[in-house]
């Protein structure tokens, strides 16, 4: 029974949201049914996090008893309803499913050889990753212990009084951080009926697998399978990424949010296909990123700037709808967070936002020089990143010079990455904390948010070069 409950805790929200996305048909124009299916899968996980977050808050309690039954019934009802909607939609489109014969199966395997290689790599990487974390960092590093897992334990054990357990005495645990990840961990404990660090590590592995699968599928759909495999392999081979992902899975989750918000816009711009549903879905992703971490507020701004740039280039009205949707979702998300939290982010307190304080910091050019130097050193740290990002950047520049890649397209696609990085520099420039301390303990982890986005951007550009290359 315990196993059934645990599987239900992980799969029911995913299947529920798969029904939602199947019913919406937002990826109807993506070529290839198998890739549409994978897109539905990776976006379903994103939607399941939102679903769990909302259900837990609406139930106003996480610990056992009546809440267990309430959450189970709500999820079961949503699951059944959306499955019915999905079945009706499938029946209406008269989709015919035929079994593959032996020869057809061989052709399918050969045509998707990169996918099978990716699957083997992913399984091996996940097993290594889980064992490494379980042996070396079962409780995670300081952030995981003091922020995410501790909050998950409070949510699980606190019942209706969980908010009382958060007090100003615990400010070092970042009380102003959103609770999406702790809720997801507490959700799995709820179905298991007990606290286990293994389940927190499983949640971490699910997020990592979703991020790597998303990157592979996105690059494949925009470019091709080979470039998708190279992109994911480059991420896996980064020692820095593996070490940080072993305990900073909150940053991984925001990286997943950013990746999934960007893909529909990249696809729209490079393929010229206006899929209103997918563009609006990207806007919802961007608007709800603040529910993951506070840095999601900055990503919403980066997304809107990118959408404005695309609108100027294409004059497509769905982009204006996307901006309005992102702002609406962001406003609703912030109001939702403010309703359940009495704590302000120290970056936005009245003391740190006075005109005198802001002016003095803006005029202190030594501060921005320090911040820029730290980020430049981090970005050009070969030992940290490995050679792949630099080689692909140089290759992209050479292709631009050769005329195989449009310099204008490359400049447009770099906008969200550049704005996000520029925003991080601005936050440190105005930080109310000690600048050296703040940079030392968080600057490299902020780059984890946009590290997968870099590979999506660079391989989208390289995919354009492949299309323009002459056939030999």
Model confidence at 9: pLDDT above 70 = no
In whole angstroms, what is the distance from residue 148 CA to residue 177 CA?
A: 9
Model confidence at 300: pLDDT above 90 = yes
Residue 43 included in any domain: yes
- Rounded mean pLDDT, 75-89: 77
pLDDT tens by residue, 427-437: 888 877 778 88
Residue 354 included in any domain: no
75-84, 257-266, 398-407: range with lowest mean pLDDT: 75-84
Angstrom CA distances, 440 to 251, 298, 375, 460, stand at 16, 20, 11, 32
pLDDT at residue 306, rounded to an integer: 96
The DSSP call for residue 349 is S
Angstrom CA distances, 47 to 14, 15, 40, 257, 275, stand at 7, 10, 10, 10, 19
Over pLDDT 90: what percentage of the chain? 21
pLDDT at residue 417, rounded to an integer: 94
* 325: its two tokens: 């949707």
pLDDT at residue 98, rounded to an integer: 41
Q: How confident is the model at residue 311 (pLDDT cuts 50, 70, 90)?
A: very high
Contact 222, 41 (CB under 8 A): no
pLDDT at residue 329, rounded to an integer: 92
The crossing angle, in degrees rounded to 10, of helices 66-93 and 180-192 is 100
pLDDT at residue 418, rounded to an integer: 94
In whole angstroms, what is the distance from residue 310 CA to residue 272 CA?
A: 11
- Rounded mean pLDDT, 189-205: 80
Contact 203, 209 (CB under 8 A): no
pLDDT at residue 419, rounded to an integer: 95
Residue 239 included in any domain: yes
Instruction: Calculate Rg over the CA atoms of the chain.
Output: 22
Looking at the 3D structure of the chain, how many domains does it have? 1
pLDDT tens by residue, 142-184: 777 777 888 888 777 766 666 665 665 555 566 677 888 888 8
* 470: its two tokens: 């002459």
What secondary structure does DSSP assign to 15-50, as a single string?
HHHHHHHHHHTTTTTSS-HHHHHHHHHHHHHHHHHH
For all residues of the chain together, what is the average pLDDT?
Answer: 79
Going by C-beta distance under 8 Å and a sequence separation of 6 or more, which residues neighbour residue 275? 26, 27, 28, 29, 264, 267, 268
* 439: its two tokens: 């940079």
Angstrom CA distances, 435 to 17, 239, 298, 440, stand at 42, 27, 19, 8
Residue 100 included in any domain: no
pLDDT tens by residue, 203-245: 888 889 999 999 999 999 898 888 999 999 999 888 888 888 8
pLDDT at residue 104, rounded to an integer: 44
Residue 198 included in any domain: yes
User: Comparing C-alpha atoms, which of 71, 91, 85, 89 is closest to residue 12?
Assistant: 71
pLDDT at residue 92, rounded to an integer: 65
Over pLDDT 70: what percentage of the chain? 79
Model confidence at 472: pLDDT above 50 = no
Does the reported pTM lie above 0.85? Answer: yes
Angstrom CA distances, 198 to 195, 203, 223, 269, stand at 9, 9, 37, 42
Residue 106 included in any domain: no
Model confidence at 470: pLDDT above 60 = no
Model confidence at 61: pLDDT above 80 = no
pLDDT at residue 331, rounded to an integer: 92
- Rounded mean pLDDT, 42-66: 74
In whole angstroms, what is the distance from residue 263 CA to residue 402 CA?
A: 27
In whole angstroms, what is the distance from residue 45 CA to residue 35 CA?
A: 16
Q: How confident is the model at residue 60 (pLDDT cuts 50, 70, 90)?
A: low
pLDDT at residue 103, rounded to an integer: 44
Write out the residue range of the structural domain in which residue 154 sits.
Answer: 2-95+111-344+363-468
Contact 330, 287 (CB under 8 A): yes
pLDDT tens by residue, 358-406: 677 777 778 888 888 888 888 888 777 878 888 898 988 898 888 888 8
* 288: its two tokens: 């709800």
Of residues 43 and 441, the one with the higher pLDDT is 43
Sort 387 into a burial class: Cβ within 10 Å, 0-12 / 13-18 / 19+.
exposed
Model confidence at 420: pLDDT above 90 = yes
Going by C-beta distance under 8 Å and a sequence separation of 6 or more, which residues neighbour residue 60? 160
In whole angstroms, what is the distance from residue 378 CA to residue 370 CA?
A: 12
pLDDT at residue 99, rounded to an integer: 39
Residue 351 included in any domain: no
Q: How confident is the model at residue 466 (pLDDT cuts 50, 70, 90)?
A: low
Residue 355 included in any domain: no
pLDDT at residue 456, rounded to an integer: 95
* 413: its two tokens: 């696609």
Going by C-beta distance under 8 Å and a sequence separation of 6 or more, which residues neighbour residue 34? 112
User: Comparing C-alpha atoms, which of 431, 453, 452 is closest to residue 443?
Assistant: 431
């Amino acid at each position: 029974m315990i196993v059934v409950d645990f599987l239900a805790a992980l799969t029911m929200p995913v299947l529920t949201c798969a029904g939602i996305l199947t019913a919406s048909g937002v990826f109807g124009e993506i070529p290839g049914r198998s890739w549409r299916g994978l897109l539905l899968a990776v976006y379903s996980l994103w939607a399941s996090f939102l679903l769990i977050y909302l259900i837990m808050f609406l139930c106003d309690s996480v610990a056992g008893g009546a809440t267990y039954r309430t959450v189970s019934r709500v999820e079961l009802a949503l699951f059944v309803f959306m499955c019915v909607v999905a079945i009706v939609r499938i029946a209406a489109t008269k989709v015919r499913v035929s079994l593959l014969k032996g020869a057809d199966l061989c052709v399918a395997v050969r045509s998707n050889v990169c996918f099978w290689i990716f699957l083997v790599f992913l399984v091996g990487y996940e097993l290594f990753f889980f064992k490494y974390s379980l042996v070396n960092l079962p409780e995670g590093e300081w952030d995981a212990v003091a922020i995410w897992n501790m909050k998950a334990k409070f949510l699980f054990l606190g019942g209706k009084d969980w908010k009382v357990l958060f007090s100003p005495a615990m400010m070092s645990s970042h009380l102003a951080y959103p609770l999406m990840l702790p809720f997801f961990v507490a959700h799995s404990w709820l179905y298991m009926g007990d606290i286990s660090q293994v389940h927190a590590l499983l949640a971490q592995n699910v997020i990592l697998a979703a991020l790597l699968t998303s990157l592979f599928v996105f690059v494949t759909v925009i470019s091709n399978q080979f470039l998708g495999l190279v992109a994911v392999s480059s991420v896996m081979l980064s020692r820095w990424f593996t070490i940080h992902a072993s305990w900073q899975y909150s940053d991984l989750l925001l990286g997943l949010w950013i990746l999934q918000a960007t893909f529909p816009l990249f696809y729209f711009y490079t393929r010229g296909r206006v899929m209103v549903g997918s563009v609006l879905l990207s806007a919802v992703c961007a608007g709800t990123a603040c529910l993951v971490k506070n840095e999601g507020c900055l990503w919403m701004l980066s997304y809107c700037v990118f959408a404005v740039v695309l609108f100027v280039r294409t004059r497509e009205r769905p982009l204006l709808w996307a901006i309005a949707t992102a702002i609406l979702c962001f406003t609703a998300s912030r109001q939702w967070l403010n309703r359940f939290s009495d704590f302000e982010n120290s970056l936005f307190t009245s003391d740190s936002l006075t005109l005198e304080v802001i002016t003095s910091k803006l005029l202190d050019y030594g501060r921005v020089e320090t911040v820029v130097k730290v980020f430049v050193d981090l970005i050009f740290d070969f030992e940290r990143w490995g050679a792949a990002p630099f080689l692909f950047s140089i290759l992209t520049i050479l292709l631009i010079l050769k005329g195989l890649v449009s310099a204008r397209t490359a400049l447009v696609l770099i906008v969200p990455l550049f704005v996000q990085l520029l925003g991080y520099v601005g936050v440190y420039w105005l930080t109310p904390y000690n600048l050296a301390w703040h940079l030392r303990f968080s600057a490299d982890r902020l780059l984890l948010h946009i590290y997968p986005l870099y590979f999506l951007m660079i391989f989208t550009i390289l995919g354009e070069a492949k299309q323009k290359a002459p056939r030999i």
